[in-house]
A and B are shown apart, each in its own frame.
Chain A
Amino acid sequence: MKIHEYQAKALMAEFGIPVPRGGLATAPAQARARAQELGGKVVLKAQVYAGGRGKAGGIRVANSPEEAENLAGQMLGTRLVTHQTGPEGVPLSKLLVEEALDIHKELYLSILVDGCRRMPVMMASEAGGVDIEEVARISPERIVRSYIDPVIGFQPFMARRLAYGMNLPGELVRPATQLMANLYKLFMAKDCSLAEINPLVITVDGRLLALDAKLNFDDSGLFRHPEIRELRDTEQEEPLEVEASNQNVSYIKLDGDVGCMVNGAGLAMATMDIVKLYGAEPANFLDVGGGANEQQVAAALKIILNDPKVKRVLINIFGGILRCDVAARGIVAAAMETQVKVPMVVRMRGTNVDEGRQILAESGMNIILASDLRDAAQKVAAARI
């Protein structure tokens, strides 16, 4: 799960990590008031769930409270289009108004779980403020890492490796050590999947602050953090994806026109891949889940059919725990209710496949049955309304 920068900064401040002074504005007059409180010159930062804000005009400097009000008026209520959002962009309805700092140097700091070493790793770099993937590609020697064994937790020597590794001036090593220890505490306490400060800045007056802040959370850990779950901003998410998550269906919207409904994440990806291989484009990823019942199957198919881009549907069910007859009843229920107009190709296999096919045949619906995965991909690629 993602949260906004202003929420991440509030959490960081709670854990003792220095952040710039600032506050939220949802209206131009409020931006003006915030700027006044902060002493005039401020930075307005669009609060959206997408990277690449700066280049897209989502971060603006205002030299006075009046200018802050004007700029906020231009920004609020629009949609911000960045290289990560797609052409429709994301709604811009919140601004973080922050004191403008005089920056001496930009650094990078993050924690995530390293799948290979199977423990958290803290990464730091002297090259901050840019995409860390780029730094890793061009000059990997500028990234320093400390792996954190959960038995001993984060230790000062790990912090020193990072602090000296990014060439911090001597007087900042101690505050940096404290900041890193606090970031590790936050990461562990809230089940983060990523805690990233990019840039971590040294100001001209020699302070160390988190100028930007990104916290992502492990979805599997949310059950023990209701306070984090509440921070979710569904306005920033694709409406069909929000609906899917309410129905406990794993769904991601894409740009193609072949709606895909599959049981199992791996088979769902395989189905998307083979659709593409046969010359069509998948409209979505959708895993109905292993233990789905008839209602969930119906809800999943309705989500696909509610996407206006979907011109044809491919259903691929390998019956295991989810029986084919249950899936078939769900498909028929959803199709009846939505009066489906687009062609549907169905491939079924496994538990109770004969009953499943019979239910589809007796429904009188215009369903194209496929014998295997390849046949299904060919038939859906050829299907037209």
Chain B
Amino acid sequence: MSIIADENTRLVVQGITGNEGSFHTRRCIQYGTQVVAGVTPGKGGTMFDDTIPVFNRVEEAVKETGANASLIFVPPAFAADAILEAADAGLALAVCITEGIPTLDMVAVLRYLEGKSTRLIGPNCPGIISPPARCKIGIMPGDIHHPGSIGVVSRSGTLTYEAVAQLTELGLGQSTCIGIGGDPTPGTDFIPVLRLFEKDPDTEAVVLIGEIGGSMEQEAAEVIKNEMTKPVVAFVVGATAPPGRRMGHAGAIISGASGTAKAKLEALQAAGATIAPSPAEIGLTLREVLKGRG
């Protein structure tokens, strides 16, 4: 089993006819994801690659195809609206890949999502993949993943691929891998993902990858300490980053004492997570932890 994305996921792609949207839709289908619909306002009634119906609105797509999850490739200026439309249509899951959505747009979106049934992953993220269910909702390279029992949650994109590749090389497959995104206010942060992994009978251990900036890792540490029985291996990047400078990701900026890699690693370690000594040893560290448990 996996969390959030699985065999029952029926995907609608918002922005399916754009460059990125069409490229990654094909990759998701190739991997095994059930893509049932696309949405591009103005292109309703056409077909994508002769097989997938395109609609003008998400609501219509849901009604006609039974879609229950959305993957969003919409430019930053219109992405907040796309997320709101997905939530309004009652989808259980919206995964937003778009980078560069204004923070204040996201503040309004996140407030609207409170009390709604839609889980938002992202924005500015690689998405989510559940190898055992052959379900990929995102832009990650599918072939580095392998079905198994390790849950991965990360604020990064390519660094997540790096960690996953290390795991796969050591024969440690994954239950679900989630990139929560590099923005300061992600739709889903570490905490709900940790709780879902803890509950999932097929997840044996968790890899958590944090970054400088904010205090999301410290909040995750509280949950690890108080609620997690499964082992957690953690790493936080940005030990060499200067304060006050945005390191690519909008959220990766040290603006207070809690924002440093050191403060985050200390909190995670104090909560019982095992810290990988370097980003090259995330997989090895997890293997040692699993060995130690027998």
Nearest B residue to A194 via CB reads B255
Partner of A268, one of B101, B107, B161, B248: B248
Chain A contacts with B in 160-184, Cβ cutoff 8 A: none
What number of B residues sit within 8 Å (CB to CB) of A?
Answer: 63
* Interface core residue of A120, A265, A273, A318 (most chain B CB under 10 Å): A265
Q: Judging by beta carbons under 8 Å apart, are A269 and B252 in contact? A: yes
Closest Cβ–Cβ distance, residue A254 to chain B (whole Å): 7
Chain A residues, CB < 8 A from B256: 133, 136
Chain B residues, CB < 8 A from A119: 107, 111
Could you tell me the distance between the alpha carbons of A269 and B104 in the complex, rounded to whole angstroms? 26
Partner of B102, one of A221, A268, A274, A377: A221
Chain A residues, CB < 8 A from B106: 118
Within 8 Å of chain A (Cβ to Cβ): is B247? yes
Check A269/B160 contact, CB under 8 A, given A221-B104, A373-B279: no
Check A265/B247 contact, CB under 8 A, given A116-B215, A223-B76, A320-B140: yes
One digit per residue, 1 when the CB lies within 8 angstroms of any chain B CB and 0 when it does not, for chain A 182-218 equals 0000001001010000000000000000000000001
Nearest B residue to A112 via CB reads B255
Partner of B242, one of A220, A252, A264: A252
Partner of A113, one of B107, B154, B246: B107
Check A267/B141 contact, CB under 8 A, given A150-B108, A221-B102, A274-B278: no
Q: Judging by beta carbons under 8 Å apart, are B279 and A274 in contact? A: yes
Could you tell me the distance between the alpha carbons of A175 and B247 in the complex, rounded to whole angstroms? 39
Within 8 Å of chain B (Cβ to Cβ): is A285? yes
Could you tell me the distance between the alpha carbons of A116 and B218 in the complex, rounded to whole angstroms? 11
Within 8 Å of chain B (Cβ to Cβ): is A115? yes
One digit per residue, 1 when the CB lies within 8 angstroms of any chain A CB and 0 when it does not, for chain B 239-251 equals 1111011111111
Closest Cβ–Cβ distance, residue A190 to chain B (whole Å): 10
Partner of A318, one of B162, B209, B247: B162
Closest Cβ–Cβ distance, residue B111 to chain A (whole Å): 5
Within 8 Å of chain A (Cβ to Cβ): is B155? yes
Q: Judging by beta carbons under 8 Å apart, are B279 and A118 in contact? A: no
- Name A's B-contacting residues (CB within 8 A): 84, 113, 115-116, 118-120, 133, 136-137, 149-151, 188, 191, 193, 218-221, 223-224, 250, 252, 254, 262-277, 282, 285, 287, 290-291, 318-321, 349-351, 372-374, 377
Given contacts A120-B104, A276-B240, 16 further A-B contacts (CB under 8 A): A113-B103, A113-B107, A115-B214, A118-B107, A150-B108, A220-B100, A221-B102, A250-B248, A252-B245, A266-B252, A267-B158, A269-B238, A270-B156, A272-B241, A274-B278, A318-B161
Complex A-B, nearest 5 residue pairs according to Cβ-Cβ distance, in ascending order: A266-B156, A265-B248, A264-B158, A266-B159, A270-B279
